[in-house]
Amino acid sequence: MYNSYVVNIGFPTAMGLPFQFSYKKTNLISVGGEMKLKTHPNVADVNEHQVPVPNSANVTVEAQLLYAGKAQSKISFITPYNQQRYIAGTNRYMQVNIPIKAAADIDVQNNQVAFKLEPLNKNKEEKLLIATQHPYTTIQNILNLIPAEKEQNTKDINVRKTKEWTETYGEHSTGVAMKVHYNGEGKAIDLSTVYKSMQDHDLTTALILSANNNAEIYRHRFIVSYDAQRSSAKAIRFYASYRDNEQNRLRNSNNNNNDSNNSNNGPLEARASSAIPSSASRNGAEKRQEELLHKASSGIKDAAASVVEIMAEFEGNNNAQYVATAALSRSPADKNSKFLFFYHASPAQSSKFEVSILLKHL
Share of the chain above pLDDT 70, in %: 82
Q: Which amino acid is at 97?
A: N
pLDDT tens digits for 262-302? 334 444 443 445 778 888 888 888 899 999 988 888 888 88
pLDDT for 187: 66
> pTM for this one?
0.76
CA angle 52, 57, 60 (to 5 degrees): 135
* Residue 130 burial (10 A CB sphere; 0-12, 13-18, 19+): middle
| Helices and strands per DSSP (H, E), number in the chain | 5, 15
pLDDT tens digits for 206-224? 555 544 545 678 899 999 9
pLDDT for 217: 85
Query: How confident is the prediction for the chain on average, in pLDDT?
Result: 83
Calculate mean pLDDT across residues 78-82: 92
Instruction: Give me the helices (H) in the chain, please.
Output: 191-198, 203-213, 245-254, 258-270, 285-297
Query: How many other C-beta atoms can be found within 10 angstroms of the C-beta atom of residue 123?
Result: 9
How does DSSP classify residue 348? Answer: S
pLDDT tens digits for 149-197? 888 889 999 888 999 999 999 999 999 999 999 999 876 544 455 455 5
pLDDT at residue 66 greater than cutoff 70: yes
Compute the distance between CA of residue 128 and CA of residue 143 in angstroms, rounded to an integer: 39
- Three-state SS at 49: coil
pLDDT for 266: 41
330-362: buried (b, 16+ CB within 10 Å) or exposed (e) per residue?
A: beeeeeebbbbbbbbbbbbeeeeeeeeebeeee
